[in-house]
Amino acid sequence: MSKNVLNLVIVTGMSGAGKTVAMQSFEDLGYFCIDNMPPNLLPKFWELVHESGTIDKVALVVDIRSRAFYDEIFSMLAEVNADEQEQNQKVEMKIMFLDASDEELVSRYKETRRSHPLAMEGRLLDGIQKERELLGEMKSRAQVVIDTTDLSPRQLREAIFDNFQKSAEVPTFHIEVMSFGFKYGLPIDADIVMDVRFLRNPFYVPELKVQTGKDKDVYDYVMDSPETEKFYQKLFDLMKFILPGYEKEGKTSLTVAIGCTGGQHRSVAIAERLGKDLKDKYYVDITHRDMEKSQKKVIEHGSK
């Protein structure tokens, strides 16, 4: 994405049509999201955007609670765009309108037992129809209109990704491969935990004891075993099978935790290999939660 282009998405539509899911989706696409900003704060917000020097994707989520926004937003954006052009920066704006049938909106409000913003003291259906009338012009100006009547939250998310993912620089599915030591407890954020304590342990080899699984000698010791190779191939096949499923279901991040006794040798070596192999297809971070802590204790114990 060009540094002199700011991508702005106005997310609006019928109350109950899915704006909360939309905002979460844009956050996962790397957009800076703001919910119901008063229009008179928009110029000040652009100043902060310029000062940051890092924000180039913004999603403003607007609903009928910000009635003034609909009266002022277009003139305000025109002024901002003129200022941006003077600073050699272009604003590319899209309006995304979320809609749903009256029947579906009534059903959703009944299910959540929430009050419609335009029907606080009247019939729910009257409020929905009044809102639809007020938002008619905004819908007519929208470049993207999504009817969520028959969409699940996951399907709405997919529709947003289909329309806006091309302009996003961040990956929408991220994998964290983490090594850890069982003696220090299970990682509470792990989605998948693999126990490799059955593999032969470099801890009992004097010259390897103080090293870690990132050191070549330890790595080779762990991997140079038919048992390890057989296990790893089964593990990698499992990852190749399940990861597309997690991604398809809309999961944005997955933590795969590999554990051994202290988190210094075996788990580190396996995590290193798995993370590097997965990087061919996915965005992957490799972390070692307990490696340095465990190594420090081994060194301190050996010096006594």
Nearest 5°: CA angle at 31, between 285 and 86? Answer: 125
Question: Nearest-CA neighbor of 236 among 192, 201, 190, 288?
Answer: 192
Q: How far apart are CA 158 and CA 152, in angstroms?
A: 10
Residue 17 known to bind ligand: yes
Residue 259 known to bind ligand: no
Q: What contacts 69, CB < 8 A, 6 or more positions away?
A: 36, 37, 38, 39, 62
H-helix segments, the chain: 19-28, 42-52, 67-86, 102-112, 124-134, 136-141, 153-164, 216-223, 226-248, 266-278, 291-302
Residue 251 known to bind ligand: no
Residue 18 known to bind ligand: yes
Tell me the Ramachandran region of residue 61: left when phi exceeds 0, alpha when psi lies from -120 to 50, beta otherwise.
beta
Please state the three-class secondary structure of 58-114 as a single string: EEEECCHHHHHHHHHHHHHHHHHHHHHHHCCCEEEEEEEEEECCHHHHHHHHHHHCC
Residue 19 known to bind ligand: yes
Residue 113 known to bind ligand: no
Question: Nearest-CA neighbor of 178 among 82, 291, 89, 90?
Answer: 291
Residue 65 known to bind ligand: yes
Residue 99 known to bind ligand: no
Residue 299 known to bind ligand: no
Residue 13 known to bind ligand: yes
As annotated, the binding site includes 13-20, 63-66
As annotated, the binding site for GTP includes 63-66
As annotated, the binding site for ATP includes 13-20
